[in-house]
Structure 1
């Protein structure tokens, strides 16, 4: 009888210890405050990493917030309201050129093409960029990647922004689609799901992809402060590992599968629409195959800023880009 009680007590003690250990493991998950410039299907590999548990596998817990603009995401980062920001790398160049001592460092690339589309009021199966002469386009914030890539394409097509084409640049990022549907402009430049939603509602039609027509551009990358990088290199490595897992998963699966995985992130968007958007992005090789931010991409980024008149001075690649974590992740 005593032996039976001893076995019972031993089992209870073992169960209690197991529960305590499990609780400790959960508490040990490191929280990463991630600020993304906007919540968009454009960042599908990140949401795959979240939904498939890739961050959890690395012992990380993601606390997600939205900046609604690279300038605001950068503000969150430098004011210590975020640990990592997903945004256009142009913001890092601006901060560096302001002479900030704790400037921001980019450590992992996510998208290698622009993720926005030109939307017209009527279908234009034979669209060419030259047709924009004399027209009005709803663009983006001056100095932001959407606007600068638009200007870059126009110049490549021998058109002068604001001379040959009128561009509206004073609207908030999340109000451009509504303004277009309400009658403003002949064309608008929109991210997803706004572009496909306008199309689905019959209020406009996608006629061109800025991603295809601008070529490979380091559009969005993960960045953090030097202080955070030096203090928590292990967290940055684990974060990069999870992102690479997300990139690989997206590369190896069809649009329908990707859409199902990320649907919880876009609960108000129909699954068929998510699938359409993912397919559109996948077909144009939107997502970088690895998180390595290459020098030639950075040089092109500075060329685009320079052409837009937004580059005070060119800066060394190695000052605001590190590939150490990305290279280790893909080994």
Structure 2
């Protein structure tokens, strides 16, 4: 396992041995040689999507904004949101549907910008299954995890494409066991994030993996982005703006230098996938940014409204409300 290596002038990065929620003394507010200590908890253990954060540290983008960044692994978006709500981390990297549910339950958290604007939710399968369209799933078994947004909206995905829930057998699988279930042939396909899991499946099985994106079949929901506690947004808006500026630059530059970004992650992160997997994961993630429409993390109201409507109709989101209930758009620079 690699030990963290970073020059004395760069931002400090802590990963691996840190618990997902961390300790309160790792939050912002401390002073490190004139830089503010800021913590970010990921949605999961490090994979290629997270490489831009390491790239930003390596290149000094956070340091240039006066930030010493600590990055911590997560255990799912739900746990990351809890850490943000409980003031155990300054920022979280969370999927948007769980954020909507968290706010609906009273958590005082808000998105300050979704980066993966085309949702990565998908149905994944080995290419030799010859599945090319949703109707090819008829008679197949699909592994999913109860409680997540993919599972909740899968029946709607079928209905939107002229299929009935009975056309497919859904098998309940723990989130951590989905890849193994597919690799071992216990299911024909799984619900998951294609840019993360497909390269991992290929590395483990040596077989080509294919996928059908919900977004390409009428069910686009915003993906992962930055969330913060409402108190943080009010208490330290300048720090929030500085952190987001550095993160936007990190993503914009990483998108142009995928080898450099994954090299930075391979150097700085413990427990990351093999380098070739990292490259594939980040390569698949970059188009989801929709950079042709603007700077990373800059959203529009329509995309939020569509996601809220889908979660309200199919994901048991109560008293949905408007995008402003979940998203504060005053912190992101439009570039």
TM range (shorter): 0.7 to 0.9
Structure 2 residue 274 is the aligned partner of structure 1 residue 273: no
Aligned to 2:205, the other structure's residue is in SS state: coil
> Which of 106, 111, 115 lines up with 2:111 in the alignment?
106
Unaligned runs of 5+ in 2: 1-29
TM-superposed CA distance for 1:219, in Å, is: 0.8
Length, aligned pairs only? 300
Q: Which moved more, 1:304-313 or 1:80-89?
A: 304-313
Alignment of 1:28-67 (within 5 A): 28-38=34-44, 39-67=46-74
Aligned twin of 1:223: 227
Aligned twin of 1:137: 142
**RMSD (Å) for aligned C-alpha atoms:** 2.9
> Which of 207, 212, 215 lines up with 2:210 in the alignment?
207
Aligned twin of 2:316: 310
8 Å contact from structure 1 (residues 119, 204) kept in 2: no
Structure 1's 304 and 181: CA in aligned 2 closer, same or farther, altered over 3 A?
A: same
Using the size of structure 1 for normalisation, the TM-score is 0.79
Aligned twin of 1:115: 120
d(CA) in 1 for partners of 2:109 and 2:329? Answer: 14
Q: 1:285-309, CA deviations, whole angstroms, 9 ceiling, x for partnerless residues?
A: 5677432232111111112213424
Structure 1's 168 and 63: CA in aligned 2 closer, same or farther, altered over 3 A?
A: farther
Which structure shows the higher helix fraction? 1
8 Å contact from structure 1 (residues 93, 315) kept in 2: no
Unaligned runs of 5+ in 1: 1-23
TM-superposed CA distance for 1:125, in Å, is: 5.5
TM-superposed CA distance for 1:133, in Å, is: 1.3
Alignment of 1:12-27 (within 5 A): 26-27=32-33
Structure 1's 269 and 313: CA in aligned 2 closer, same or farther, altered over 3 A?
A: same
Aligned to 1:82, the other structure's residue is in SS state: coil
8 Å contact from structure 2 (residues 41, 72) kept in 1: yes
8 Å contact from structure 2 (residues 134, 212) kept in 1: no
Whose radius of gyration is greater, 1 or 2?
1
Q: Which moved more, 1:117-126 or 1:30-39?
A: 117-126
> Which of 184, 194, 200 lines up with 2:186 in the alignment?
184
TM-superposed CA distance for 1:41, in Å, is: 1.4
TM-superposed CA distance for 1:170, in Å, is: 4.5
Structure 2 residue 176 is the aligned partner of structure 1 residue 174: yes
d(CA) in 1 for partners of 2:187 and 2:290? Answer: 27
d(CA) in 2 for partners of 1:29 and 1:149? Answer: 43
Structure 2 residue 253 is the aligned partner of structure 1 residue 236: no
8 Å contact from structure 1 (residues 107, 223) kept in 2: yes
d(CA) in 2 for partners of 1:267 and 1:319? Answer: 36
> Which of 186, 191, 200 lines up with 1:197 in the alignment?
200
Aligned to 2:311, the other structure's residue is in SS state: helix
Using the size of structure 2 for normalisation, the TM-score is 0.78
TM-superposed CA distance for 1:272, in Å, is: 2.7
